Amino acid sequence: MTTTHQATPRRDTYSAYRTGTVTAMTANNGMADGVTDRPPGAAGHPAEATDKPCGRAFWRRGTPHDFAREIEHIKSPDGKAFYPWLLMVIGPGNDIAQSRVPAPWLAGCGLALFCLLYVFTVRSAFHERWRRGPVPYRLLGALAVCTATLAIAYGGNFLLLYTLVSLSVGAVASTRRGLGLMLTPLSATAGVTASTHGQGFWGTAGLAYGTFLSGLVVSVIITLSYAVAQLRETRQELARGAVAQERMRFSRDLHDLLGHTLSVVVVKSEAARRIAPRDIDAALAQVADIEAVGRQALTEIREAVTGYREGSLSTELDRARSLLTASDIEVVVQESGPPLPPQTEALLGWVVREGVTNVVRHSGATQTRIELATGRGRAHLTISDNGRGSCPPPSGQDGDARTRTGTGLRGLTERLAAAGGSLTSGPAADGGFRLTAALPVEEDAAPAARTVPAR
């Protein structure tokens, strides 16, 4: 036997609210009720129903961006949020006004003293000067004594004052241990006081539990508020660090790009000037190379600005060979090992660019050797020359004449260190200068070696 269940309009509407499709359900219900002849824009017309989103579904569809924006608007906790809880003294105040307690004037003075101590305790708990000193704890002790005196003497609605003391404990306590040591005796005192006034088991247990829970919740909320503030400051600090890191990246890229490019332009311009009197065609070829280098440098600077530049090791080796040859420096390039990952090639390409630029500008060498070897999970790039092996410091400045370490090499050292590699430079044992870079790689191809002499 088959039973067919027909959905009622109320059940359909409830399901639509749950799934966020209430507009379609409203349109269908409108057609079923015979309201299809209403003009557009009239109340209950299907078009209007489909155009208006459901309010309940709207606030349920929150995005992480909205949540982050709400987090930004959360303010640091202060004592003002505790003042509305003083409305709980309306019950004891009503008992005093209707003379339901003995000696109403004395009870009124005690209740006024309680309110003053509560306000001062909460203010001192959030005051920049007092919150880390003994003042909040002393005021809290006076508040607890005042509350216990009123509750024991009068009972009834005066027992609710223990809840306000618990809120003050949550505001004053700075550690979990201190919070537990203060809330536990306070809750026990509230329970004992309630039992002496004949509140019964459930009344006594409810007051003790409510007293303990109130202080605990307040402490948790305050702790979370401070955590949110610290996270906000941390995020701002990370943003400032990211900006500084991006500035450093751009300055290193700009230095490496312009230093190498201008060196090429100077070398080729000198070559064109030397050969122009005897071979105008060769001089024009050098001028064409200068133009090509300038166009390529413009493209690389634009790519560096946008952060998308990926260097190619083979391209940098070809440029190095061309630059060294134009500078009358004999160059030998030797490569061995499997292909390298693009990221490793990009880093080693920067090393080749900076090392060759230093050779041309500072070494005075006649021979240069570039060796690339990959094996055992590491890639080693060595650039050596037979020059003087030092870069004399500028006149009037102190410096070490044995090394050729400048801004470019320091920037390369930072880059390779961030990738788990290293960069060393200094005079070679057999004379000249040696620059060695090492980077971790994964071996996934068979070794192959070849030696490429300069043409």
Domain co-membership, 54 together with 84:
no
Domain co-membership, 168 together with 194:
yes
Tokens 């749950």 — which residue?
A: 18
Residue 304 lies in a domain: no
Q: With contact defined as beta carbons under 8 Å apart, do 135 and 181 qualify?
A: no
Which burial class, exposed, middle or buried, applies to 174 when counting CB atoms under 10 A from its CB (0-12, 13-18, 19+)?
A: middle
Confidence at residue 115, expressed as pLDDT on a 0 to 100 scale: 92
Residue 333 lies in a domain: yes
Domain co-membership, 24 together with 171:
no
Residue 23 lies in a domain: yes
Which of 256, 263, 214 has its CA nearest to residue 85? 214
Confidence at residue 59, expressed as pLDDT on a 0 to 100 scale: 43
Pairing mode, strands 330-336 and 367-375: parallel
CA distances in angstroms from 368 to 63, 176, 263, 389, 408, listed in the order given = 59, 68, 17, 12, 19
Provide block-wise average pLDDT over 10 residues at a time, the chain (455 residues): 42 37 38 42 43 44 58 68 86 86 88 91 83 85 90 88 89 84 89 85 88 88 83 83 77 73 82 85 85 80 61 80 84 86 85 86 85 88 82 44 58 84 86 89 50 42
Q: With contact defined as beta carbons under 8 Å apart, do 311 and 412 qualify?
A: no
Q: With contact defined as beta carbons under 8 Å apart, do 433 and 404 qualify?
A: yes
Residue 263 lies in a domain: no
Domain co-membership, 211 together with 354:
no
Confidence at residue 37, expressed as pLDDT on a 0 to 100 scale: 43
How many CB atoms neighbour CB 422 within 10 A?
13
Domain co-membership, 320 together with 443:
yes
For the chain, report the end-to-end CA distance as a whole number of angstroms. Answer: 93
Residue 357 lies in a domain: yes
Confidence at residue 398, expressed as pLDDT on a 0 to 100 scale: 44
Domain co-membership, 333 together with 441:
yes
CATH code of the domain in which 423 resides:
3.30.565.10
Query: Which alpha helices (DSSP H) does 127-199 contain, by range?
Result: 135-154, 161-172, 176-196
Residue 444 lies in a domain: yes
Domain co-membership, 451 together with 373:
yes
Which of 358, 339, 361, 362 has its CA nearest to residue 350? 358
How many CB atoms neighbour CB 41 within 10 A?
9
Last residue of a domain, one of 237, 256, 282: 237
- Look up the domain containing 162 and give its range: 79-237
Residue 299 lies in a domain: no
Domain co-membership, 17 together with 56:
yes
Q: How many domains does the chain have?
A: 3
Domain co-membership, 377 together with 403:
yes
Domain co-membership, 29 together with 111:
no
Last residue of a domain, one of 176, 202, 237: 237
Q: 12 — alpha (psi -120 to 50), left (phi > 0) or beta?
A: alpha
* Spatial distance between the Cα atoms of 101 and 81, rounded to a whole number of angstroms: 31
- Give the gyration radius of the chain's Cα atoms: 40
Last residue of a domain, one of 222, 237, 252: 237
How many CB atoms neighbour CB 392 within 10 A?
11
Domain co-membership, 337 together with 440:
yes
Confidence at residue 65, expressed as pLDDT on a 0 to 100 scale: 56
CA distances in angstroms from 159 to 11, 27, 103, 199, listed in the order given = 47, 56, 18, 10
Residue 326 lies in a domain: yes
Neighbour-count burial for 65-90, b at 16+ CB within 10 Å, e otherwise: eeeeeeeeeeeebebebbeebeeebe
* Spatial distance between the Cα atoms of 385 and 330, rounded to a whole number of angstroms: 10
Domain co-membership, 86 together with 205:
yes
Q: With contact defined as beta carbons under 8 Å apart, do 191 and 142 qualify?
A: no
Enter the DSSP assignment of 259. H
Tokens of 73: 């608007």
* Spatial distance between the Cα atoms of 312 and 352, rounded to a whole number of angstroms: 10
